[in-house]
Structure 1
Amino acid sequence: MAPSRRDALAQLGALLALPLVRWPRLATDPLTDTIAGFQAGRLRGEYTAEEVTRRALERCRERGTALRAVDLLADSALTEATRSDGRLRRGGLRGPLDGVPLFAKSIYDMAGLPTTASSAEWARLFPGPVRRDALEVQRLREAGAVLLGKTAADDFAYRGNGTSSLTGQVLNPYDPSGVRTPGGSSAGAAVVVATGMAFAALGTDDGGSNRIPAQFTGVVGMKPTFGLVPRTGVIPTWPYLDTHGPLARTVADAALMLDAIAGPHASDGLAMRAPWPRGVLARLRDDALAGARLGLVALHVPRTQMSAESLTVFDRAIADCVAAGAVVESFDAPVTRATVRAQFAEAAAARGDVAPDPNSPAATANALQRYFAGQGGDAVAHVQRGIAAYRAFYDVLPSDWEAVAALLRRPYEQDAAGVSFARSRAETVAQLTNAFRAQRLDAMVYPTMPFPAPAATSSWPDVRTTLGYGNWLGLPEVSVPAGHGTDGMPAGNLSFVGLPGSDGQLLALAHAYERQSQRFVLPPG
């Protein structure tokens, strides 16, 4: 017999560790509901994880293929869902993600699947399935999640357009013409979330790769504090910039995924060492913006270059924050997107340090060697086999193999240019921290990007963004949908940006804004 409404509510509250749980709405399609709504439906006996997973896989094979959003599907998904249903019957769910269909980006290792990196050449060079899970995938499995497979991206997660040489150009589900980009590099991850193929997906962000597709497809995208999420088992990019995090339809669902994947691990020497206090979802309150102080940096809102519609969407988002009780005021930040690089260089010069370089060839080479070493076998031979395909995108590496080989075994944690970069980051963030405290700010707010999705084949508008600013400083950022244009396309996202370590607070502020504005809209079809 299915549990009563009261019993199901009590079970859901215990499952999510919430002091108060609003009875979730019942979506017609559980895959377009929240994770809490999905779990409530399971507890009421309306469907099983196996049934919903089967529906998700069918949707992936049909619409996911049509949108070129899916890299590979996992044969293990239905088995994982069935096991979760067994745990539910025994009253032993592992937590809120148990039985929840999720995806990971194509550069993540996932046992039983090859890691294609969305590159036709890499897929040819390394066609065999890997035997290990990336650490984040492993943590999701330990939480009971159902891994549907992997999403398409730009080759090696390098560009921001969603163009894969393996699966083709990922399409934006809001654009019936098939012309507009979904953004990238985590393009497929954003698309499967927006279209209800999965509740959330793992993405990566070196210079906007989560936040760009979040805006262009109108979903929630997060770049956590640098180092909060260890990156072991993922094809590397630049170790001093690379940050991994969730994409989801709601802030609460993004918080649940972050809760599962965050926390230290010795395999990533740049990861934070402090334990992650789990239970961030319990901090989400609809009234979190009441009394919050939000700083607005004028330079980060290029009003003279933004379209009238983009400005309208942004100004309305700020008005929503004020309506929710926030104080939004001008903030004269000691470091901005225009000054951050010069300030890093000046700080290094004052220390008598080498020039800071987050794109150091030595750090990238060592990260690539360590990635293959984690798979077992001859890591150096694997690097040599794949270096030409990889270097075609990450051309910071030398063109001569002997020069690359000389860099492979230098630990990236000890790379002089990278260490100098980290020192400059710490000094510059300390200045920003002092300014936050002097003005009693909780966060900064600005447009995630100051323009909507252009055509995939067009150059982007010549408008500077804050994307790299966040990566250089290692700041956490939550990007939330702010509305659609008259053409039905997502027109902008609002970013909540804070000091390192303030991820939980930012999620709470973003959740309160989301509840006030409710701007997410499912795409047609």
Structure 2
Amino acid sequence: MQGFIESHVTRCLDRADARPQERDLAFTYLDGEAAIRAARAMDGRREDRADGAILPLAGRVCSVKACFDVRGWVTHAGSRALAGRSPAMQDAAMVAALRQAGAVLLGQTNMTEFAFGALGLNTFYGTPLTPLVTGEDRVSGGSSSGAAVSVALGFADFALCTDTSGSARIPAGFCGVAGYIPSQGAWPCSGMLNLAPSFDTPGIMAASARQCLDIVEAVGLDHLDCQTCLHGQPASAAAPFRVLVPDEIMAPQPEADVLAVFHEAVRHLRLSGIEIIHGACAPVRELGELAGKGDMFAAEAFTVHQHYLRRFGDRYDPLIRARIESGRSVPAHEYLHTRWLLDRLARDFDRALTGFDALLTPTSPILPPRLVDLHDETTYLAQNRKSFAYTEIASRFGLPSLSLPGWTSGEPVGILFTGRRGRGRALLQMASTLESLLQGECE
């Protein structure tokens, strides 16, 4: 007879087997047998304890993005260039922390090659599609494409992923799940194949903010965070919360459907007693003007990849290779000047958000594009750049950020909360409270 945890893992595997096409695009490696063994062992330990105590994440099924080392798995980062590597000898720091907390690892998820893209395209492993829109083959977003699909379809309870400009939060928004990143540097990156180390951070996806908070608290690695919200009040307390909607949200102009979902979300938040202030936020505007200058990401990516390019460059996706190699020619003075400007803007942003719990925007100004429309390189690059116009605020300033599904809409549109540095748990606690308030208001 199956134990409780084994039964749950089996149900996740059954859901994956029932949708083989989505499963095979979401995962590049699935190890159901190992997951069942781990579940059985956990059930056994649970039965052996007289007090019934178990690990905080015991029975939670986790998928892992292909840029993290998992002992015995090949860390290929979505690229055939690294598909022939030897399996990892040990777990990445985040993977080890999740195992220690009791998570059951199910499989390795697909991603944009080397995480260099926000729409989830992968020419070698295939491109996962959002399950929220049927019959139109719309992308799931990226770079953590398979992670979002694995959670959205119930193949996994949560996913470990990464985020550089929106890689956790954009696919979360496109696929109707929650996507969270902590403050830059809060979680360890060891054993993670970087894209741009100055901006990369591990992230997670789950069904809700409450579940994201459970995972954060179970892992217990975030030493940057405090436990309080605005004015030192406990973050778990009920409203009032204060959020700022920047006037600069209109640049770039969100698509009409995105704006409609966002306005509806704002309406529900107000009905729940949330104080929403519309106002100017100059650092957001200046960041938009600065975006792309100095090609910081290409410069950092080239630094990370130059030795791989010498050995395996012919196996890279040509577009990804060209974007990475463009970093070879970025002058050091341009890189440093952009770095200094970002540091100044981050300080300005922190001052602008004084008195607020979060900045509120759509997760992305666009709906997930149709896959067929992205075959044109010019269209792809334009849509890719536009997709992370709002998520890059947190990424450039090193802030915690959370995308939640647009309440009551069912559309592939996320609602993005960007918090203040060192207040990631407070952001999750606030969002968990809002979820409870809105669930009651919408029922």
1:134–1:61: structure 2 CA closer, same or farther, 3 Å change rule?
A: farther
1:148–1:203: structure 2 CA closer, same or farther, 3 Å change rule?
A: same
1:60–1:453: structure 2 CA closer, same or farther, 3 Å change rule?
A: same
- Structure 1: how far apart are the matches of 2:356 and 2:16? 43
Residue type of the alignment partner of 2:359: M
1:245 and 2:245 aligned: no
- Tell me which of 322, 328, 340 is aligned to 2:287: 340
| Structure-2 residue corresponding to 1:443 | 358
Q: CA deviation at 1:279?
A: 12
1:397–1:490: structure 2 CA closer, same or farther, 3 Å change rule?
A: closer
1:474–1:389: structure 2 CA closer, same or farther, 3 Å change rule?
A: farther
User: Whose helix fraction is larger, Structure 1's or Structure 2's?
Assistant: 2
| Structure-2 residue corresponding to 1:70 | 27
- Tell me which of 207, 211, 215 is aligned to 1:257: 215
Contact conserved, 1:104 with 1:203, CA < 8 A, in 2? yes
Matches within 5 A, 1:441-480: 441-458=356-373, 459=379, 465-480=389-404
- Structure 2: how far apart are the matches of 1:64 and 1:278? 42
Contact conserved, 2:240 with 2:273, CA < 8 A, in 1? yes
- Structure 1: how far apart are the matches of 2:105 and 2:190? 18
Residue type of the alignment partner of 1:238: A
Q: CA deviation at 1:161?
A: 2.6
Aligned with 1:313: secondary structure? Answer: helix
- Tell me which of 71, 96, 113 is aligned to 1:155: 113
Aligned with 2:151: secondary structure? Answer: helix
1:278–1:291: structure 2 CA closer, same or farther, 3 Å change rule?
A: closer
- Structure 2: how far apart are the matches of 1:278 and 1:505? 6
- Structure 2: how far apart are the matches of 1:279 and 1:432? 19
Identify the structure with bigger relative contact order (alpha carbons < 8 Å, sequence gap 6+).
Answer: 2
- Structure 1: how far apart are the matches of 2:167 and 2:11? 28
Normalising by structure 1, we get a TM-score of 0.71
Unaligned runs of 5+ in 1: 1-44, 265-273, 346-354, 370-379, 405-414, 520-525
Matches within 5 A, 1:276-425: 285=236, 288=238, 290-301=239-250, 305-307=254-256, 309-336=257-284, 338-340=285-287, 358-359=296-297, 361=299, 363-364=300-301, 367=304, 384-389=310-315, 392=318, 393=320, 395=322, 398=325, 423-425=340-342
- Tell me which of 23, 43, 59 is aligned to 2:15: 59
Aligned with 1:490: secondary structure? Answer: coil
Q: CA deviation at 1:135?
A: 1.2
Aligned with 1:88: secondary structure? Answer: helix
- Tell me which of 471, 492, 513 is aligned to 2:413: 492
Q: CA deviation at 1:468?
A: 2.2
Residue type of the alignment partner of 2:247: A
Residue type of the alignment partner of 2:121: T
- Structure 2: how far apart are the matches of 1:427 and 1:133? 36
Per-residue Cα deviation, 1:302-322 (whole angstroms, up to 9, x for no partner) = 596531x43332112112222
Normalising by structure 2, we get a TM-score of 0.83
Contact conserved, 1:306 with 1:451, CA < 8 A, in 2? yes
1:219 and 2:177 aligned: yes
Contact conserved, 1:115 with 1:129, CA < 8 A, in 2? yes
- Structure 2: how far apart are the matches of 1:446 and 1:478? 11
Aligned with 1:359: secondary structure? Answer: helix
- Tell me which of 408, 412, 428 is aligned to 2:345: 428
Contact conserved, 1:484 with 1:492, CA < 8 A, in 2? no
Residue type of the alignment partner of 1:104: V
- Structure 1: how far apart are the matches of 2:27 and 2:116? 18
- Structure 2: how far apart are the matches of 1:154 and 1:296? 31
Contact conserved, 1:360 with 1:418, CA < 8 A, in 2? no
Per-residue Cα deviation, 1:342-389 (whole angstroms, up to 9, x for no partner) = 6799xxxxxxxxx9663263x4455459xxxxxxxxxx6x77434554
Contact conserved, 1:259 with 1:279, CA < 8 A, in 2? no
1:368–1:234: structure 2 CA closer, same or farther, 3 Å change rule?
A: farther
- Structure 2: how far apart are the matches of 1:416 and 1:99? 50
Q: CA deviation at 1:111?
A: 1.0
1:511 and 2:435 aligned: no
Contact conserved, 1:302 with 1:450, CA < 8 A, in 2? no
- Structure 2: how far apart are the matches of 1:114 and 1:151? 12
Residue type of the alignment partner of 1:331: G
| Structure-1 residue corresponding to 2:155 | 197
Matches within 5 A, 1:45-56: 48-56=4-12
1:432–1:162: structure 2 CA closer, same or farther, 3 Å change rule?
A: closer
Q: How many residues align?
A: 421
1:47–1:157: structure 2 CA closer, same or farther, 3 Å change rule?
A: same
- Structure 1: how far apart are the matches of 2:219 and 2:337? 28
Q: CA deviation at 1:248?
A: 0.6
Residue type of the alignment partner of 1:291: P
Residue type of the alignment partner of 2:356: L
Q: What's the % identity of the aligned pairs?
A: 27
Q: CA deviation at 1:396?
A: 5.8
Matches within 5 A, 1:77-88: 77-88=35-46
Residue type of the alignment partner of 1:500: R
- Tell me which of 52, 55, 63 is aligned to 1:103: 63
Q: Which has the larger Rg? A: 1
Residue type of the alignment partner of 2:74: P
Q: CA deviation at 1:182?
A: 1.3
1:94–1:134: structure 2 CA closer, same or farther, 3 Å change rule?
A: farther
Per-residue Cα deviation, 1:52-96 (whole angstroms, up to 9, x for no partner) = 212222332442543511111124211211121122113365532
- Tell me which of 116, 120, 139 is aligned to 2:76: 116
Q: Once superposed, what is the RMSD of the aligned Cα atoms?
A: 3.4
Per-residue Cα deviation, 1:1-55 (whole angstroms, up to 9, x for no partner) = xxxxxxxxxxxxxxxxxxxxxxxxxxxxxxxxxxxxxxxxxxxx99511122122
Q: CA deviation at 1:504?
A: 1.2
1:275–1:209: structure 2 CA closer, same or farther, 3 Å change rule?
A: closer
Aligned with 1:444: secondary structure? Answer: strand
